[in-house]
Amino acid sequence: MPTDYDALRAQRMSEVDPELKQIYDLPGLDPAMGVDAFRAAFNDIWRFQGGDGVQPGVSVTDMTIPGPAGDIPLRIYRPDDAEGVQGAYFHTHGGGFVAGGGIDVWDGSNSSDALAWGCTVIHPDFRLPPENPFPAGVEDCWAALQWVNNNTDDLNIDPHRIAVGGGCTGANMAAVMALMARDAGIELAAQYLWGPRFDLRADYRSEFEFAEGYGLTKAFDSWVTSEYMSDPEDRWNWQASPILVESMKGSAPAIFAVGEWEILRDNARAYADRMRDAGVEVHYSEGEAQAHAHTYWRNMETGEFTKGALKSQAEVAGVMRRKIGSESKSS
């Protein structure tokens, strides 16, 4: 007998923490809104969730570097109290592939991460679809990561303490960067993958169990994926669906932050299992009764981070400090 997912959601919502219930009751994004409206909405949402503006105690440097289709803007965040050579976090931002662009959108979270982890954060503003479909963003991020790796002395960062990371579709990009770096002989210290999308074929049980009513919907995820692809067949390209890569062996240690109640949960579990099977170090955290992007959820009344967000952030920060930040040591 088919599972009644509507009834299951109703039961869950009757038992969930009121702080989370307010978030789950928010209306989901509608694919009919179109790209421009989604970009504007996403920027507003992220400036609330991630923070608006650079945090005190962090200095910012802007520059452009050569890319495959023109200059790529970079913004670099460095704690004011940083001394000497630092580790670096190379952030490939999320936003459902099509959104999240703009050099200042991620100022709040990037500067907060720089402070919390004790590292430099480097953010490339790469090309987005549908104007620039796959693989344009991958090409830009790869060019920028190589540039960072080749200019560590000028950037005052440790080449042995560079991590990549991002959320949702940014985690997709980060995972691809980690695999491309491995293939190029660039040894990364870590990859941070939160609310990740690794398989654009999108055929996992969680895609149906949490298809509606848990924030990110299956319909919206399918729409942004279609905007990313110039050819539907590209879903089977490992640089679009990194779970399809022939081998995970030798990829950088991974830190996962996933929600128990999100459509992307099972593709994250499968990716983590492939990594473990290949001998890759995996730190996997799955927030109980949490959904997509829960690591940055805020209480709708107070504006403060939720209990689940703070727990996830503390777990991630602990690992990132050891890998690239204030507690790490150059090899």
How high does pLDDT run on average in the chain?
Answer: 96
pLDDT at residue 331 in the model: 42
Look up the domain containing 295 and give its range.
5-323
Q: What whole-number distance in Å separates Cα of residue 112 and Cα of residue 99?
A: 21
pLDDT at residue 60 in the model: 98
pLDDT at residue 236 in the model: 98
Question: Residues 279-283: what's their mean pLDDT?
Answer: 98
pLDDT at residue 46 in the model: 95
Assess whether pLDDT exceeds 80 at residue 330.
no
How many independent structural domains does the chain possess?
A: 1
Question: Looking at the domain assignment, is residue 330 inside a domain?
Answer: no
Question: Looking at the domain assignment, is residue 259 inside a domain?
Answer: yes
Name residues whose C-beta falls within 8 Å of residue 148's C-beta, 6 or more positions apart in sequence.
Answer: 88, 90, 122, 155, 157, 162
Question: Looking at the domain assignment, is residue 331 inside a domain?
Answer: no
More confident residue, 238 or 52: 238
* Residue for token pair 């062996």: 249
Question: Looking at the domain assignment, is residue 301 inside a domain?
Answer: yes
Helix (H) or strand (E) holding 45: helix 34-49
pLDDT band at 140 (very low <50, low <70, confident <90, very high): very high
pLDDT band at 137 (very low <50, low <70, confident <90, very high): very high
Question: Looking at the domain assignment, is residue 225 inside a domain?
Answer: yes
pLDDT band at 108 (very low <50, low <70, confident <90, very high): very high
Sign of CA dihedral 288, 304, 46, 60: negative
Question: Looking at the domain assignment, is residue 329 inside a domain?
Answer: no
Question: Residues 141-145: what's their mean pLDDT?
Answer: 98
For residue 230, CA distances in Å to 21, 130, 132, 226, 235 come to 38, 8, 9, 8, 10
What is the 8-class DSSP label of residue 202?
-
Question: Looking at the domain assignment, is residue 316 inside a domain?
Answer: yes
